[in-house]
Amino acid sequence: MKLLLAEDTADLNRAVSAALELQGYAVDKAFDGEQALAFLKSESYDGIILDIMMPKKDGLQVLRELRERHIRTPVMLLTAKAEIDDRVAGLDAGADDYLPKPFAIKELLARVRSMIRRHDVYEDSALQFADVTLDPDGLVLIARNSVRLSIKEFELMKTLMANADLALTSEFLLEHVWHGEREAQADTVWLYISYLKGKLQSVGSPVTIDGERGGAFRLCKKEGTA
């Protein structure tokens, strides 16, 4: 799994990222809010750890921009502040958890594991993007009409919707949808993208999937649609 750690204190950033990497996570490290947003505009993550007090843009600003772009990746906030108002502001902005400083590394690792597990359960609920609803109960894609999806189509659509407005590489999709299956290749991703594009047309939605064969793919609305 891949995580983003945004923490401006260099020593703490190094210590936390090293602990996460020892647990098998791949970690991108940011040292201010603008750098964190730059990562988030170009990469997809399974979890995000944000320090609230960062230069250029604080963690709450980063979190709000993330949620405004419909990115539902789970977020943990780190804060040196103990006031209830700060915790409430973070949760209201869309955080999944918070951890006051100072903290034990073991607790942070446990919180990260728990946050990602909770997110996986949450993602079993219906997802929405523009006029499209993805219903997990019947593996159904719904807009003006509805159509049933195969399991892989559903998993692919769920991943695209959970990362709406982000360009997801074929490698990312192979890892998160096909889970490293040996027979799955970039052409497999393209084939299923083509299936989903056809089904989005069949349900009468202006939503489509932008991207070229072998490249990255992004869920978006067709240009010129309301």
Q: What is the pTM of this model?
A: 0.63
216 near 169, Cβ under 8 Å? yes
Q: In what order do the strands lie in the sheet with 47-51?
A: 26-30, 2-6, 47-51, 75-79, 97-100
Residue extents of the structural domains in the chain? 2-122, 127-221
Q: Which region, left, alpha or beta, applies to residue 107 given φ > 0 means left and ψ of -120 to 50 means alpha?
A: alpha
Query: Element (H or E) spanning 11, and its range?
Result: helix 10-22
pLDDT in tens, 138-190: 789 999 999 988 878 888 999 999 888 789 999 989 988 887 677 788 999 99
The pLDDT value recorded for residue 200 is: 95
Name the CATH superfamily, with its identifier, for domain 2-122. Response regulator (3.40.50.2300)
Domain at 127-221: CATH code: 1.10.10.10
Same fold, 2-122 and 127-221: no
For residues 52-78, give the mean pLDDT. Answer: 87
Q: Which tokens is 194 given?
A: 């083509």
Range in 6-20, 79-93, 169-183, 186-200 the model is least confident about: 79-93
Q: Determine the distance from the C-alpha atom of residue 19 to the mean position of all C-alpha atoms in its chain, rounded to a whole number.
A: 22
Res. 87: pLDDT tops 70: no
